Each structure stands twice: as C-alpha cells, then as structure tokens.
Structure 1
Amino acid sequence: MKHRFSFLLRPFSATMDIIFLDICFALAYRLKFGTTESLFEVPYVTLFWFINAAWLLILLLNKPYNFSRLTFTIQNLLVDLAKLIGLHIALVSVFWVFTKGGYSYSREQLLLTYVLFLCAGSLWRSVVLILLKVYRAMGYNTRRFVVVGYGPLSRSIQTFYQMYPEIGFKFYGYFDKMTPDNASSLRGDYSYLKDYIVRNEIDCVYCCLPYIDTEQLRDIMNFSEEAKYQVKLIVDFKGFLTKGVTVEYHDVQPVISMSTHYLDDLRVNLFKRTFDVFFSAGVLSLGAPLFMVIAVITKLSSKGPVFYSQERIGKWGKPFRIYKFRSMYPDAEQGGPALSAGNKDHRITPWGQFMRKTRLDEIPQFYNVLRGDMSVVGPRPERQYFINQIIEKSPEYKYLLMVKPGITSVGQIKFGYAENVEEMVQRLWYDLEYLQNVSFSTDVWLIFQTVRVMMQGRGK
C-alpha cells in the first residue's frame, strides 16, 4: 500500500499544535498568576475553549501542513507557523472586543501564551523535520520514481535525488526506446513501462519532453489516473538556471521568463564573497603550522618544488593560476596535458597519493580564494585544453563559467578526480545541479561533506 503513513502527518501536526497551545496557555497563566486553580473557571475557561475552537477553525479554512517533500523545509514550516499564529491572534482579538463588557483578561498572559507557543511550535517542528529527514535518508518512507526518456537532462533528476537523500525519493530506472547505445542503462522500453509501474507501485513518473513525443506523454498521463501516480514534466531549458525562471500570464496564456539574475544579485555575491574571505583567512591562519609540516614533507619526499602552479579557467572564461601542494613528479606532463589515472598513476608520488586521498594538496587554493580567483564552494576549474573537449560532448559546461570555480564541489564529493573527458562530463552534471541550488546552507553542507571525505581519506 502506497504511503501508508503519509496521511497521518497532517492530523499529527494538528494534534501537536493543539496540545502545545493548551500547555502554553496554562503555563502562561501559571507564570502570570502563580497558580492554575482558577484556570478552568469563568472567565478563563471561556477563553480556553475559544482559543482551541479558533485554532481548529483556522486549520479547516487555511489547510496548513500541506508541503511537498521539496518544500518541506524548516523555513517554510516556521513561516507557516507565524501565519497561523497571526490569524489566531486576530480571531482572539475580535473575541476580546465582543466580550470586553463582561470579562477581563490579562494582556500579559495572552502575550506570554503566544511567545511560548511560537517557541514550542518551532521546536517540535524542527525536531520532527530532522528526524523525518534522517529516517528518509536511511532509506525509509521513500517515494519511488522512474524517468521516461534517457539523456543528460533526465540523468540530472537522478543526480538531484542522490545529492539529497533526505527528500526520500528512490530511483527505479529509465525507460526509452531501446538502442545499442542506451540498452545497458534502461530498465525497459515504453511497452514495458505500464506493467513496471503497477508491479513496483511507482509513485512518480518524470517525463523528459526532449526525448518523448506528445502521444507517449498523453498515454502516461491517462494511465496515471488508473495507477495513481504523479506525472512531472522535465522541460529542456538548455542549461538555463531555474532560479531565474518565472511564469507570467498574458491573459490565460502562460509565458516562461528566463534569466540568470541571481548571478548579478548583489546580496548573494556580497554574502558569498564575505564568507569566502573570512573562512579562507581563518583556515590559512589557524592551519599555518600544519601547512608548514606538509610543505616540509612534500619537499623532502621527492625532488621538485613544494608548490605546483598551473593555468586554469575561471569565471567568464578568465584565466588564472591555481596553486596546490605538488603531488606529482616534476616531469609529470612532459608529454603534454594529461589527466590523473588515480591510484595506478605512476606520476604521483607516494606522499602525493596520501595528499590526494585526504585533499591536503588543495589547501593552497585558499590563497586563490583570498585573491578572488576562486570561491570555497563552486565547480572545479579546468584547463582550456580539456574545456574544449568537454564542450564538444556537453555544451552545458559553459554555464559553469558563469560562477567562480571552487575548491570543493558536489562533483568533487560525489565523483572525485576524473581520469578522462568522459568522466569529466559525468562530473559536470553534479556541478550543474549545484548551480540550481546555490545557497549558504548548501555551501556549509558541502564543506562538512568535504571535511568528512578528508578525514576518511576517500578522495579520488
């Protein structure tokens, strides 16, 4: 049975709010008057029953707690709580006006009630949200989805849910026309889709419009009523960033407006740059003794300079020199530009292998961050030689050049170092996903993930 517990979330939320509202009302009465003996006597018993009735009325009319998994965030929950409390205060105020002639209530007690309830409501929402996300990240309470239409755009959906397992979506495969090139990646073709949906109780079907035709889409939508699954469309914006997409209505005709306005958002850029400067300065100053030790070991472990410098391409295609602790022998690229072959690469020194696994070789790049060439979090900078090859295979790469490259990224954490251009293209989709979710919380999460990779020595 699908979502056998999901329907309990709303009544659970309503019950929790009613319980905490009553507790806060009684606690505020106790704090104001020093006792609760007269709480259930006139006039406060009348007010007690009214605040409960008013809250239930608001729930019936407003229908809160209605969040999708993507919008189920602490910010949305707290904003929703504040709106509910505001409406409730309005109703209680009206009640007070009509009963003012007969009853007298304490303003301090009511104010304290709402302050306590705001704190309690925020607390239980935060705890439940964290527990639910952890529960989903562990693989429980998941929604099953398939993607119809196979290609770079459809793979980005799978990448997104791999990045955020706490949302609780489990991937069940791709469906498309079978060809020799894609057969190994598909679960089946269109003829197998309906039976697969029914047998595996699929909750959501993502349809990629570039890869399926109108008749196939109509058939999937019609069958959704019978099989009870959601249909979601993935539209090919050719790499345009979704944070700049808005829908305007010209009479009844929807028009999609696309821009990359967030790239020029002064507040976003200023905040991110401020964080980069302070974080980088802190790392370089506090870690200076350790970095000196790394520099000495690098110098003594093999012949050659301590630091390695190379030209990379930054924001808007501007070249800059990147700095790292040297992890290869000095003549590593005497035959021309070449990517690392991982643990089997004879060009990497033994100490360099350790630095790469722990990402210690990347530390000098914090100097690049202070200079403004890079950011702490952003897509990995590449050489022009490889960028030209990547764009031939995946033109979407040029959108990574709209932002500053970074020391760490989703691609570095989820994929790691690439051994060839094909792997660089695969890593590209992780970094493109980051562009659609640029935020301070995402950056902090990626920094913590990077530290975890460093401590576990899982860099590759």
Structure 2
Amino acid sequence: MNSKNRYLLINLLAFEFVLLNSVLIIYLFFRLPEFSFIDPAFLKKMIPLIIIYNLSWLFIILYNREKEFYFDPDYNYLRSILTSLFFFVGIVATLVILFKIRYFARSTFIFPIFIFSYLNLISHKYLLKYLKKRSSNLFSNTLLIGSDLEFSELIGLTKGMARFGYILSGYLGDQDEQSKNVLNLKILGNINELSKVLANNSIDEVFISVSQLEKRKITELIKIADSFGVRVKLIPEYPLLMASKFNAGTIGDFAVYKLRQSPLDNFNTTILKRLFDFCFALMIIIVCSPLYLLIGIFIYLDSRGPITYTPYRKGEAGKTFKCYKFRTMSVCDNPVNGTKSTIVNDPRITRVGKFLRKSDLDELPQFFNVLKGEMSVIGPRPHRANLQKDFRRSVNDYMVRSYIKPGITGWAQVNGWRGPTVTNEQKNERIKHDLWYIENWSFWLDIKIIFRTIFGRHRKKAF
C-alpha cells in the first residue's frame, strides 16, 4: 500500500470513528437527563463507555475487516456489516461484564451499535466517491504500460482502478492506438520513454501488462521504476480458460492461476456446509419419520412392489452412488443403466406416485444420501450416466458441476430449470445456474434456496 492509499484509508477510518462517537453521544444526550460535558462526575462515567466502544471497533477493524470493504463499492457491505455487528455487540458486552461497569445498566448499550452499523452501511459506498471528487490528491496516480490490452479490457481496468483508490493518469504504448483516446486516456509516449515520463510526471504506481513484452524488457522497466521509487504491479496474460472466478497464487517460483474458484474450496466453508447438511438432514428424517411410514404404506397399497427405487446417479468427482427415492411408477427403469426418461402423462406413474412427484415428496429418502455424505441438501441435481454423457456432448462446461456434491434441490431448480432437459436452452440454462451456484456459494444462499424450494412458485415439472 502506497502513501496515498494509506492516507485514503485513514480518512475512511476516521469517518467511522467520528460516526461511532457521534451516534453514541447523541444517543446518551437524549437517553440520559443528567448528560453534561462540564460535569466531572458524569464525564468520569462516560469516558470508560467511549473507550470500550472505540477499542472494540478498532479490534473489529484490525481482525474482521478486509481491504476491499473500504476501497471497492461492489464489496458485500451487508454481509460485512452484519458480521461486524455480531462481533461488536459480543465484544462490548464481554468488556462490560469483565470490568463490571455499572453505568451500562442505565443504558441500552446495544441500540447505539445498531444505529451506527446502519449508518455505516448506507454511507460507506458514497464516501469514497465523495472523497474522489473533493480530494483527488488522496488517490494514487498510476501509469499503464503495454500495447496488448483490448478496448473492453481497458474499460474494466480503469473502473477497477477507481474502486481501489487509483486514478489512471496516462498510458505508454503504441502511438497509433486510438482506443485509449476514446477513454480520455492520455498517451504519454512509448514504452522506451518510461524514464522521461516518470521524471516529468507525478506517478505513484506503474501497471505493466506483460503478455506481449519480453522478459528482458519487463526487467528493464521494473529497474527504471525502482530508480524513481515508483511501485510496480504486473498484469499477466489472462489464462486460456477464463472463468468468472479465479485466483492467482504461487507455487515455488511460478505464478499459477486457480480457475473455477468456489467458496467451497476453503476448509472452513466445506466443514460448515457438511455440518449443516448433516444436522438438517437428521432433523428432517426425525421430524418426518411418521410421513415416511405413511407414504410407504400408501405406495404398497396402491401398487404392490418395493417401497423405494434406488437408481444409480453420478455425484461428486464423477463417482456413482445409489440415489434413494420413493417408488412412483408401476414399472421402473433399470436402476443401474436405465435410459428411459419420464414423459408427460407417463402411464407408468401410479396414482400415489403422481401426487408424490407433484409435491416432490418422492425425493424425501435422499436425506439418507445426505447423511451418508453422498449428497448435499443444496447442489446440482444428480444425473444418470447416460444423461451425463449427453450433457457432456452438448454443454462444454458441464462436468464442472461435479466439483461439488449433488443436491436434493438447487439454484437451477428454484429458478425454474427443473424437469425435462430436451432443448439446448434447457440444458445450457440448468448448467449455467449450477455453475453460478458453485462460484457464488454462501451459507445464506443455501438458506434462500431452501426457503424458495418450500414456498417459491418455481415449479415447471408437470409430471
């Protein structure tokens, strides 16, 4: 972080502490009739309160905040504020009990925290824009070097720089590139004139697009920037298979792109999802055990035969498993290598089966698959082996959905892409929604999908 980024961050932090103390003082002014700045006895009581609030918030900033919260307007403010609110209340309450501060007994100390958190939530994204207009010297002047960036890439780059406290001051590349002029991007010269440009302009950081430059030239540019004390950031070539979510890292001395990144790649989120799956599935099985018994009796009386049907399905990493379902047909397809799909008004569907399929109660036994770890409550629906082969031929990214466990319901299903997959649109939309879920998973997204599965009007399955 350069000095201008640091000063910008200090301004944003100062705003938070001013807002916090203003809310606290205003609240106490209206809450306490004895409020007074000139009464030593009152001040003696109020100072510990202010210190506790400020130290608690400082702790949250240092250990529970990421840089993106302050610099990127598209950052998930709501999630960050709610997490901070939870810790803020907990820390303040702990300190009150620990230091036995009786003064808090006269005031609902949680209420100011909620007011502050709400105001912080609605004001932060506008504060950065305001500071950029009123105090542009807080933003870092940057120079872009390279001749291989397309117009669309330049638009994304300039917007991204602005979000993180940078102002793109100029460009070094080919003199005949007109796309930069369309963006009002000043061409300061060619690549070989870096020394001259840095000597004649106030530049804080240099961004070098390296994909079309030789290693020797990149090293030379870095040495020139170092000689002027200017920080350097390298923009590598995009990976050949670009995904909407990817991270760059290092292994040994090599830079490595990690494609198709998902929050579920993290150990803690994987454990969280598995714990939720196990507890939720166990609760459903216990609560619905009378329903399981009742459905089994009705299936047996309606059509003599097995209660359940266990077709083989493809799961995580392409593994095959037995998927438990209540039997809904008088004649079931081969569970191992069956290929016959259900059709509208299928004569094989029994009277009880028609109700079970319409209400999705035929999927209830799959909670046992969840307990076994073969499925998740939420995830892409498991497919038959022959259907998987069909999808692989028609949808390029299909197998990416096998990165995670299949689910009883999923993002595609609650958005209406369930049931038959005959047309290319049905196939592509289902996979697109499955991949979006994988790359954007969160615990609250799972809760949302469960809610929409139960109460939503998304059903297209008519048989």
Q: 1:348 maps to what in 2? A: 349
* Alpha-carbon contact 2:311-2:334 (below 8 Å) kept: no
- Correspondence 1:337 to 2:329: no
Identify unmatched segments of 5+ residues in structure 2.
1-14, 59-66, 92-98, 124-158, 161-176, 186-237
Q: Which has the larger displacement, 265-274 or 395-404?
A: 265-274
CA distance in 1, matches of 2:87, 2:292: 48
CA shift, 1:261, in A, is 8.2
Distance 1:441 1:258, change over 3 A: same
- Correspondence 1:441 to 2:426: no
- Correspondence 1:271 to 2:269: no
CA shift, 1:361, in A, is 0.8
Distance 1:108 1:288, change over 3 A: closer
User: TM-score, normalized by length of structure 2?
Assistant: 0.54
User: TM-score, normalized by length of structure 1?
Assistant: 0.55
Q: 1:380 maps to what in 2? A: 381
CA distance in 2, matches of 1:429, 1:219: 36
SS at 2:323's partner residue?
strand
Q: 2:76 maps to what in 1? A: 71
Q: 1:36 maps to what in 2? A: 34
CA distance in 1, matches of 2:71, 2:358: 44
- Correspondence 1:428 to 2:420: no
Q: 2:258 maps to what in 1? A: 258
CA distance in 2, matches of 1:305, 1:75: 51
Q: 1:450 maps to what in 2? A: 453
Distance 1:241 1:37, change over 3 A: closer
CA shift, 1:354, in A, is 2.5
* Alpha-carbon contact 1:340-1:419 (below 8 Å) kept: no
CA shift, 1:434, in A, is 0.9
SS at 2:294's partner residue?
helix
CA distance in 1, matches of 2:349, 2:242: 36
CA shift, 1:272, in A, is 2.1
Distance 1:14 1:225, change over 3 A: farther
Q: Which amino acid is the alignment partner of residue 430 of structure 1?
A: H
SS at 1:407's partner residue?
strand
CA shift, 1:121, in A, is 2.9
CA distance in 2, matches of 1:458, 1:24: 49
Q: Which amino acid is the alignment partner of residue 436 of structure 2?
A: E
CA distance in 2, matches of 1:323, 1:267: 29
Q: Which amino acid is the alignment partner of residue 284 of structure 1?
A: I
CA shift, 1:405, in A, is 0.9
| 1:89-143: CA deviation from partner (whole Å, max 9, x where unpaired) | xxxxxxxxxxxxxxxxxx9879959x966653336646997x99xxxxxxxxxxx
* Alpha-carbon contact 1:307-1:323 (below 8 Å) kept: yes
The aligned length equals 328
Distance 1:344 1:123, change over 3 A: farther
Distance 1:356 1:237, change over 3 A: farther
CA shift, 1:270, in A, is 2.6
* Alpha-carbon contact 1:339-1:419 (below 8 Å) kept: no
* Alpha-carbon contact 1:314-1:405 (below 8 Å) kept: yes
* Alpha-carbon contact 1:358-1:457 (below 8 Å) kept: no
User: Identity over aligned residues, as a percent?
Assistant: 26
Matches within 5 A, 1:269-348: 269-331=270-332, 337-341=339-343, 343-348=344-349
SS at 1:257's partner residue?
strand
* Alpha-carbon contact 2:317-2:403 (below 8 Å) kept: yes
| 1:387-406: CA deviation from partner (whole Å, max 9, x where unpaired) | 11111222312111121111
* Alpha-carbon contact 1:379-1:400 (below 8 Å) kept: yes
CA shift, 1:381, in A, is 0.7
CA shift, 1:80, in A, is 9.1
CA distance in 2, matches of 1:274, 1:27: 45
Distance 1:370 1:47, change over 3 A: closer
* Alpha-carbon contact 1:357-1:458 (below 8 Å) kept: no
